[in-house]
Amino acid sequence: MIVKKIFFLILVFSMSSCGYEPIFLKQNDLNKLIKNLELSGDKNINRKIISFLNLKENLEKQTGYSLKLNSNKILEIVSKEKTGNTSIYRTTINVNVSLDDEDGKPIKQKEFSSNFTYNNMKNKFDLSEYQKNIDVNLLNKITEEIFIFLNS
């Protein structure tokens, strides 16, 4: 029992002196850097990314970067049964992110992509709800990657 307490104390002291800082702590710093947002592609995906990153366009700023987002969602049929009915789907979300300086020259540029393959369901309502859930999960994964990319 005493060994566990000593180990815990050593762990706490080592973490406090190493400069550890949570990644998502600097979420408001992005808003200070971004002056202009240019969105193209799927509007719903772009809105969710902007709301997750908590970004707002601020045209009153004299200096700042321009963030360009180009997104799309692809729902494709991977496999069909002998009768021609779809048996397996794949949903793919692609987002191109470009951070440009005031002159329009790209500073950072990267493409983020995430996909998920799943089986068809007999109940079409359940299938559509499942597809919405998959979209949210894929988008959360991509937005976390974008946040880390923009903060590095």
Taking only the tens place, the pLDDT of each residue in 124-136 is 999 999 999 999 9
The CATH number of whichever domain residue 89 belongs to comes to 3.30.160.150
Whether 101 is covered by a domain: the verdict is: yes
The stretch 29-58 carries a mean pLDDT of: 82
| pLDDT for residue 31 is more than 80 | no
Residue among 124, 39, 51, 113 at smallest CA distance from 89: 124
Predicted pLDDT at 150? 84
Whether 1 is covered by a domain: the verdict is: no
Predicted pLDDT at 114? 95
How many structural domains comprise the chain?
1
Phi then psi dihedrals of residue 73, to 5 deg: -125, 135
Confidence label for 143 from pLDDT (cuts 50, 70 and 90): very high
Q: Which pTM value belongs to this model?
A: 0.76
Confidence label for 93 from pLDDT (cuts 50, 70 and 90): very high
The stretch 67-86 carries a mean pLDDT of: 93
The stretch 92-102 carries a mean pLDDT of: 91
Whether 96 is covered by a domain: the verdict is: yes
Whether 32 is covered by a domain: the verdict is: no
| Residue 69 buriedness (CB in 10 A; 0-12 / 13-18 / 19+) | buried
> How open is the CA angle 46-51-56, to the nearest 5 degrees?
95
Whether 11 is covered by a domain: the verdict is: no
Specify the residue for token string 């004299």.
62
Whether 7 is covered by a domain: the verdict is: no
Domain range spanning residue 116? 40-151
Whether 59 is covered by a domain: the verdict is: yes
Helix pair 124-151, 43-53: axis angle to 10 deg: 50
Whether 44 is covered by a domain: the verdict is: yes
Q: What percent of the chain has pLDDT over 70?
A: 84
